[in-house]
């Protein structure tokens, strides 16, 4: 991808459905033999991987313009390594398979560029529901003769686990008796999944708090659901507006999902106007550096950390960014430095001294959000930036180059789009 920097962004952009909501919701279709309809599903490679996994498990899957239909009449309980290894979020099929079939085999996810990403809390939760967990030949085998509700604490060293909360909810909805999840994640994506499970007939209380109570039921049925807007895509575009915009509006969003980012942008000196389903960012006057820490929702999202680092690199003064969720998630810093950013990393805190002007350079994307950060930095840079390994960005952003070009950017793909 080649980004020709220095152009002013202006106008409005429509935000797609949330990747991190859609993935576990697609996995939840495994819980029923009935027909499930999911709307506002973004067209992303991670979604494509999940649909392939569902097909390989035996589901009938159909997809047309953002609507996915799944029918999991007869399913297998083993997901093949070749596809599972491509996406860490494949672990979220463990919960529904265990809930419905009392058995699941999925490859253990390998290393991840954003740091060590264990799934010990998911596995401990399954054990507490009565399953046995075995890791053999690189696969996780989870088996149960019977699932029994239990009290499970999912709070780990770095806070609650998002996919872990989803996985345990999906196993517990069909367990006997009551399950209490303490230290549950409160992210909007967890709430969206719980809403789907409740539409399917599950009995869940306390969603959106750190204590979720689930009364197991015997059977679940089909559903129709519209996935919530992607708050991380929305946040990325707001930061694009901050870094290179005059007046930019993001539409089809839920503004309250972005409160922590809005507070940060306001503190930095941007004007923000929120309406029911949109936010407009306007850039006037001098900007101030920030001191930000990533935290579980409603705190500042780790998935926006890299993008904000790109913005802070262009604001005069000394900013700091501390990463509490994935302390090693700083691969983008070295690439930003190649573009002239002045950043020093100490442990999990980056000190960013704003520079007057970034300059275009050849850079390499290391993961999804890091690649978004490089695109944002490139928008503000002098001259062209060539970003390689942009397949990372297609995992989580639906046509980011097309959307930015509509706002006035000039971004070219020098190799064709990945076709799914
Ligand atoms: C989800 O990952 C998201 N992925 C991530 O988004 C996001 O960064 C993360 O939540 C945090 O918000 C999807 O929803 C598909 P966690 P998840 O379990 O659930 C530790 C993106 O860019 N932990 O909440 O896998 C873990 O190491 C992606 O879209 C354990 O110790 O993250 C981390 O420090 C990247 N043991 C913390 O908890 C476990 O068993 C939070 O991770 C599980 C997690």
DSSP per-residue letters across 240-264: HHHHHEEEEEEES--GGGGHHHHHH
Share of the chain above pLDDT 70, in %: 97
Of 117, 123, 133, 293, the residue with max ligand 1 atoms within 8 A of its CB, to mutate for a pocket test, comes to 117
Residue nearest to ligand 1 atom 9, measured at CA: 162
Residue nearest to ligand 1 atom 4, measured at CA: 20
Residue nearest to ligand 1 atom 10, measured at CA: 162
CATH number at residue 91: 3.65.10.10
Q: Rounded to two decimals, what is the model's pTM?
A: 0.97
In a domain, 240, yes or no: no
Q: Which pair of tokens denotes residue 157?
A: 């060293």
Say if residues 6 and 418 touch (Cβ distance below 8 Å): no
Residue 165: give the domain boundaries.
19-226
Say if residues 395 and 373 touch (Cβ distance below 8 Å): no
Averaged over 224-244, what is the pLDDT? 98
The residues, any chain, with a CB within 8 Å of residue 213's CB and separated by 6 or more, are 178, 179, 180, 181, 204, 205, 206
Q: What is the pLDDT of residue 420?
A: 43
Averaged over 26-31, what is the pLDDT? 98
Distances (CA, A) of 399 to 30, 137, 406: 29, 38, 11
Q: Does 417 have pLDDT greater than 70?
A: no
One domain, residues 32 and 162: yes
Q: Which residues, listed in sequence order, are joined to residue 291 by a DSSP beta bridge?
A: 320
Q: Does 111 have pLDDT greater than 50?
A: yes
Indicate which residues carry an active-site annotation: 112
In a domain, 87, yes or no: yes
Say if residues 243 and 310 touch (Cβ distance below 8 Å): yes
- The ligand 1 atom at the shortest distance from the C-alpha of residue 166 is 19
Strands 159-160 and 67-71: unpaired
| Distance from residue 316's CA to the centre of ligand 1 (Å) | 32
One domain, residues 193 and 333: no
Tell me the per-residue pLDDT of 309-328, one tens digit each, with 9 for 90 and over: 999 999 999 999 999 999 99
Q: What is the pLDDT of residue 110?
A: 61
Nearest partner of 105 among 135, 147, 131, judged by Cα: 135
In a domain, 347, yes or no: yes
Q: What is the pLDDT of residue 416?
A: 58
- The ligand 1 atom at the shortest distance from the C-alpha of residue 121 is 40
Q: What is the pLDDT of residue 70?
A: 98
Tell me the per-residue pLDDT of 280-301, one tens digit each, with 9 for 90 and over: 999 988 999 999 999 999 999 9
- Give the per-residue SS3 of 259-313: HHHHHHHHHCCCEEEECCCEEEEECCCCCCCCEEEECCCCCECHHHHHHHHHHHC
Q: What is the pLDDT of residue 86?
A: 82
One domain, residues 222 and 260: no
Nearest partner of 335 among 345, 325, 327, judged by Cα: 345
One domain, residues 219 and 343: no
d(CA 154, CA 169): 11
Q: What is the pLDDT of residue 114?
A: 66
One domain, residues 216 and 92: yes
One domain, residues 75 and 187: yes
d(CA 94, CA 175): 14
One domain, residues 62 and 113: yes
Number of domains in the chain: 2
One domain, residues 192 and 289: no
**Alpha helices, DSSP H, located in 87-228:** 94-101, 120-128, 162-172, 188-199
Q: What is the pLDDT of residue 108?
A: 80
């Amino acid at each position: 991808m080649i980004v020709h920097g220095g152009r002013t962004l202006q106008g409005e952009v429509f935000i797609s459905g949330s990747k991190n909501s859609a993935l576990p919701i697609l996995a939840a279709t495994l819980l029923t033999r009935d027909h499930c309809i999911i709307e506002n599903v973004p067209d992303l490679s991670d979604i494509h991987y999940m649909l392939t996994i569902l097909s390989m498990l035996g589901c009938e899957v159909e997809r047309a313009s953002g609507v996915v239909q799944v029918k999991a009449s007869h399913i297998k309980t083993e997901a093949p390594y070749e596809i599972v290894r491509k996406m860490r979020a494949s672990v979220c099929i463990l919960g529904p398979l265990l809930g419905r079939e009392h058995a699941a085999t999925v490859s253990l996810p390998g290393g991840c560029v954003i740091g060590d990403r264990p799934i010990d809390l998911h596995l401990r939760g399954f054990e507490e529901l009565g399953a046995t967990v075995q890791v053999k030949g690189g696969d996780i085998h989870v088996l149960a003769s019977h699932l029994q509700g239990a009290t499970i604490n999912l709070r780990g060293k770095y806070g609650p686990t998002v996919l872990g909360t989803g996985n345990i909810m999906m196993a517990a909805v069909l367990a006997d008796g009551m399950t209490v999840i303490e230290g549950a994640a409160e992210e909007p994506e967890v709430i969206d999944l719980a809403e789907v499970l409740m539409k399917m007939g599950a009995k869940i209380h306390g969603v959106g708090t750190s204590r979720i109570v689930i009364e197991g039921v015997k059977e679940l049925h089909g559903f129709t659901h519209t996935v919530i807007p992607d708050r991380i895509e929305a946040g990325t575009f707001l930061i694009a507006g901050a870094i290179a915009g005059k007046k930019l509006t993001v539409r089809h969003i839920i503004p309250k999902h972005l409160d922590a980012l809005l507070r940060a942008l306001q503190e930095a000196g941007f004007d923000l106007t929120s309406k029911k389903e949109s936010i407009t960012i306007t850039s006037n006057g001098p900007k101030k550096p920030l001191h930000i820490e990533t935290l579980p929702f409603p705190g500042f999202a780790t998935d926006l950390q890299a993008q904000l680092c790109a913005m802070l690199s262009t604001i005069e003064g000394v900013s700091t960014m501390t990463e509490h969720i994935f302390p090693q998630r700083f691969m983008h810093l070295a690439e930003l430095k190649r573009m002239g950013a002045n950043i020093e990393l100490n442990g999990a805190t980056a000190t960013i001294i704003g520079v007057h002007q970034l300059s275009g350079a050849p850079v390499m994307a290391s993961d999804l959000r890091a690649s978004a950060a490089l695109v944002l930095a490139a928008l503000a840079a002098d001259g062209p930036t060539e970003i390689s390994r942009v397949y990372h960005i297609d995992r989580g952003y639906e046509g980011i180059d097309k959307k930015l070009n509509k706002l006035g950017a000039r971004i070219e793909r020098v190799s064709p789009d990945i076709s799914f």
